[in-house]
Chains A and B, each alone.
Chain A
């Protein structure tokens, strides 16, 4: 069996042979932008998730004009195939993938295994040199809200969880992709994180499938059979409305990609507000296992 959308994933070998392909733009997005500065895939553009892929004032993704300015200045056109990669097995690369799909970019792909996979193969080139591609005029579409979950919908599902417990239908399949200690409420966030919440626990009705369970030790994605067993084993079915969330929306982008593009879930959304929004709400129902 193969992935539902195998064209959304590229291998290091494929990318190596396409490094000078003018129809491709390679973009690196890391948790730690110093990684790009120290060295990157030749020709890759570096984006900083905090500065480039967030609204600078409101807590939100960039609006269409901001994204258009960013991509136009960096030489990315609507016609380009965008190949994304990054550290932490593509966390923020997956987040960028989600933002680009939200704004209607046609051909976006992830480098399987991300930056570490490339780094560990000494036959693959790295450079500190920054390439300036000629500017373009990028035109994003209106944001596709069917890819994005909002807190109001999540709350409706959460308050319906009690009804589910007594035999009613689940409104949403909620997948909490954080670590087991965050899910149980033992900790609010991993140590040292700037973005956190007032309360610990998870959204009622959510199941916990930590994001890393979808990857092999080298950061590449597990096989479709393994992924099907993993998520199916947690009771998640491809046809039901599904929402993935984490702390700030990047780890959940990774799982969103897995569910939508590797397993073919046809109605899966990323809740980018995630626990730092939900866990700060007055009066929101919370489940805690500690």
Chain B
């Protein structure tokens, strides 16, 4: 999106990516011409390897999910499912955080109502963030002993809104919508190829909806079949927000193991300790999922050597303060008020 053609009254400039002047917040959405930054790690990379972090928190609403959210909304608009063809209709989506915030913010900018259905285990701060962006929030009970493959809880509730109140809601459905993966095939993949001048040898990603890994892998392997796609998964019992262990991936229709060269299982505690190291040693305010991805890159660098590795750092640490304190209580300090 190099130039905007929007026209509104008053004095204004058109979007100029070189000057970083944008005609509106949605013109900031990433593309080959307007990529998120790639920053080299200088202190933590094992000798002999080169690792870059792709800073997805530089997206307008703070996470990699902006890409899928924007692509899904544009797709719904182009198919007449949202916009003038369906006046008053908004979106509903089951989400545990970043996608909900991206969708809610984009919906607000575009003038659509939004409703996010979140599991009860999601911390209050994330619920509040989505409300701040203008969405209604439903908290759905987590299944007490879930039935595999069942459509209860958040997905069932969101699907119910979309089916029973289709005049009011359409569900982008990040878990099944191929546009989610295509967003990365059309933006993240080409950005990495161009930013590394085609030298990328490894990409390190995490697994959630699997849109990121599937889209990036499709594009980069079409350019160079030897690019290695390495996915990390947290060890079982984890509480790393937004990530899934392979055993939890049945919810996603975008997971395609043939596009992944290797899946590393990482002790989930390293998500938190590595996030701290990334901030303190590299100055990168990366969130817990990035801590896990970095560990995967570190392991492969030490084992095989990585000529040009790119790590997808999905979001930043600011929204995980309470999660970080839970795992690293010393961060809370000893300055708390005395209890009873």
A178→B163 contact, CB < 8 A? no
Looking at the assembled complex, report how far the CB atom of A156 sits from the nearest CB atom of chain B, in whole angstroms. 29
Within 8 A of B (CB), among A106-160: 115-116, 119-120, 122, 126-128
A190→B145 contact, CB < 8 A? yes
A128→B157 contact, CB < 8 A? no
> Which residues from chain B contact A247 at a C-beta distance below 8 Å?
144
18 more A-B residue pairs beyond the given contacts A39-B165, A126-B163, A127-B164, with a C-beta to C-beta distance below 8 A: A31-B141, A34-B138, A38-B161, A39-B163, A88-B143, A88-B144, A88-B152, A116-B150, A116-B151, A119-B156, A119-B159, A120-B151, A178-B145, A179-B145, A212-B145, A212-B147, A212-B148, A217-B150
- From B140, B148, B156, B163, give the contact of A217 (CB < 8 A): B148
**Taking the complex as formed, is B121 at the interface, i.e. its CB lies under 8 A from any CB of chain A?**
yes
**Nearest chain A residue, comparing its CB with the CB of B143:** A88
Known: A89-B147, A219-B150. A39 touches B160 (CB 8 A): yes
A192→B121 contact, CB < 8 A? yes
A positions within 8 Å CB-CB of B: 31-32, 34-35, 38-40, 87-89, 115-116, 119-120, 122, 126-128, 178-179, 190-193, 210-212, 215, 217-219, 247, 251
B165→A128 contact, CB < 8 A? yes
**Nearest chain A residue, comparing its CB with the CB of B250:** A217
- From B140, B149, B151, B153, give the contact of A119 (CB < 8 A): B151
**Nearest chain A residue, comparing its CB with the CB of B151:** A116
B160→A119 contact, CB < 8 A? yes
Q: B interface, by DSSP: helix, strand, loop or mixed?
A: loop
CA distance A178 to B144 in the complex (A): 10
> Which residues from chain B contact A89 at a C-beta distance below 8 Å?
147, 150
**Taking the complex as formed, is B261 at the interface, i.e. its CB lies under 8 A from any CB of chain A?**
no
Known: A32-B140, A193-B144. A38 touches B152 (CB 8 A): no
B positions within 8 Å CB-CB of A: 120-121, 138, 140-145, 147-153, 156-157, 159-161, 163-165
> Which residues from chain B contact A218 at a C-beta distance below 8 Å?
149
> Which residues from chain B contact A212 at a C-beta distance below 8 Å?
145, 147-148
> Which residues from chain A contact B148 at a C-beta distance below 8 Å?
212, 217
> Which residues from chain A contact B121 at a C-beta distance below 8 Å?
191-192
B156→A215 contact, CB < 8 A? no
Looking at the assembled complex, report how far the CB atom of B119 sits from the nearest CB atom of chain A, in whole angstroms. 10
CA distance A192 to B163 in the complex (A): 29
> Which residues from chain A contact B152 at a C-beta distance below 8 Å?
31-32, 35, 87-88, 115-116
Looking at the assembled complex, report how far the CB atom of A177 sits from the nearest CB atom of chain B, in whole angstroms. 10
Closest 8 CB pairs of A and B: A39-B164, A126-B164, A116-B151, A39-B160, A38-B160, A32-B141, A217-B149, A190-B144
CA distance A178 to B145 in the complex (A): 8
Known: A35-B156, A35-B157, A38-B157. A119 touches B147 (CB 8 A): no
**Nearest chain B residue, comparing its CB with the CB of A122:** B163
CA distance A215 to B156 in the complex (A): 18
A119→B145 contact, CB < 8 A? no
Looking at the assembled complex, report how far the CB atom of A32 sits from the nearest CB atom of chain B, in whole angstroms. 4
B163→A115 contact, CB < 8 A? no
B163→A119 contact, CB < 8 A? yes
> Which residues from chain B contact A32 at a C-beta distance below 8 Å?
140-141, 152-153, 157
A87→B156 contact, CB < 8 A? yes
Looking at the assembled complex, report how far the CB atom of A257 sits from the nearest CB atom of chain B, in whole angstroms. 16
> Which residues from chain A contact B165 at a C-beta distance below 8 Å?
38-39, 128
CA distance A184 to B140 in the complex (A): 28
> Which residues from chain A contact B138 at a C-beta distance below 8 Å?
34, 38
> Which residues from chain A contact B164 at a C-beta distance below 8 Å?
38-40, 126-128
CA distance A253 to B164 in the complex (A): 29
6 A-B residue pairs with CB within 8 Å: A32-B157, A39-B161, A88-B144, A115-B152, A119-B160, A190-B145
> Which residues from chain A contact B140 at a C-beta distance below 8 Å?
32, 34
